[in-house]
Structure 1
């Protein structure tokens, strides 16, 4: 670890009573821990002034570059409390490596993976009391951790920023599903695309999510939970949802997931691939057309459809709708492989089963 991190603790942390009330029903992204991590970069000093300070608003000049040119990347990950009270993160080095790739695409300086992990560990350790305890409940509450990097230079000009700020904040998160797992209904957008060859689809940057919002709005207007994006070149191949990767289980046990390149390489996505392969399933990463989806579900060739991401982990897909039709499935609360993979992954994350893959990283 190379960061020399100073720690200034809050004089006014949340009281135990306040925190207990928050953790009883944390929601998602609504409450934030007592502290935040910050480190800055300039060409002259490199990364410097690493610090943990009380959580507080930022003061930004109106000409701060990120506000005008969207030079920004972020990550999403979770910290989990195990039954013995220890706190762990899930494959943090993978988030770190993905931020390196995003940084290259956004013309940012690279924060080395070991420094990324050190920064996350430091904040989680300082605010460890915010990691929910699921002991005896089988629950899925966790601490959501949000590292992000912004162009913080005060300059109106189209070039890579000469002052960059990397920060980490954290927010307790409740279970994604309340009252049981519910299959998603998906809207197939035929008007909007999210990314194309050579674009930013494989980088985790805010612009990708901003570009999904109008299509997500369209999905909600049609009574659906999320939107499905097709490729920009031909408008035939399934790419991803607004914030999740997709899988298609075939009658012969094969699992197909859209190939990456123009879509985000999900950390959960790669874990699901490894779990499915270990269970004896052939996993194909390839182009997958929407016609193959519609026809496969209608004929029974495709027996399960599910999506995955950090927030929901794994969620079944109930139906796909488009302007002049729909196709559904009879998965109820999820097909057998969907639920098996979900349970295996969640049990590893919360320490309820052995981590044979070496995915978990102990923080405290």
Structure 2
């Protein structure tokens, strides 16, 4: 169920939407505070953060949740900063649709060979550096030898830096944000000579919703998708739709309308994570996301239950393809809220007590490649 705090936030967001204040409503919904309300608070007031298991993240009014990178993004080829292992590259990509900055992790073992590429889409209020730190993806990419691309959503595109998964213009192939992200991915593949048959996409929250949109609109580009605390594709074309979908909606695909999203399906292999105490994106959305990949279901499923030492329990339901390879995995993390399962406290919206979503996603991804 949505808790009392989230219910009040939903009510206020709906009021703001009706008043035409869409940016303020979305900021409130995703953990911020409307600009008008911030101006009314005193200098010692805090900026409201999102809730994780009912606990407020309190930060000073003038601070941000994460510090932005000190590197200025440059060209598509990027500017590289050597880390203790590989190199973290900052760059920018432009096409006819728009421009987005990015960070790219290049492992130290890269010497021009055709490595896999994982595209990571951050959640609202996050940035690539924060998301990389919270998921610990770069460390595992160094160990398992793959490149990682972190596109950045600027506040000029969304006041809370959310990917615009709920806008019709950003749900189309060769249009909106999907076209920018696909174009950026293709350019990185070409620039570094990466393996086009082993390209994967994953995201958290709004980033997870956009990841599944990419799986629906570019199944020829992505060999597998990871959806963490996300929503189905096509269930919202407006902010009110988004509010309904995030609350759980009605019907098999949510959004308050059973027909919305029902026409979309993908055969892209998918791994889905969702905490069953998520009060930001209702846990039922994990089932609704899985339903859009129902074309990949085979008869029967295996169910594994387990528990992380001193952490959360989980249930993993796995569907295999004809070759016996996992084609759809759905992880329900018991007791977890709106946070990256098994993530590092160095980043925001992480829960170290869960099974390691980063590790499990890479394991799942590397079993699949484009034909």
Band of TM-score, shorter chain: under 0.3
Return the index of the structure with the highest Cα Rg.
Answer: 1
Greater relative CO (CA pairs within 8 A, separation 6+) = 1
Please identify which structure carries the higher strand content: 1
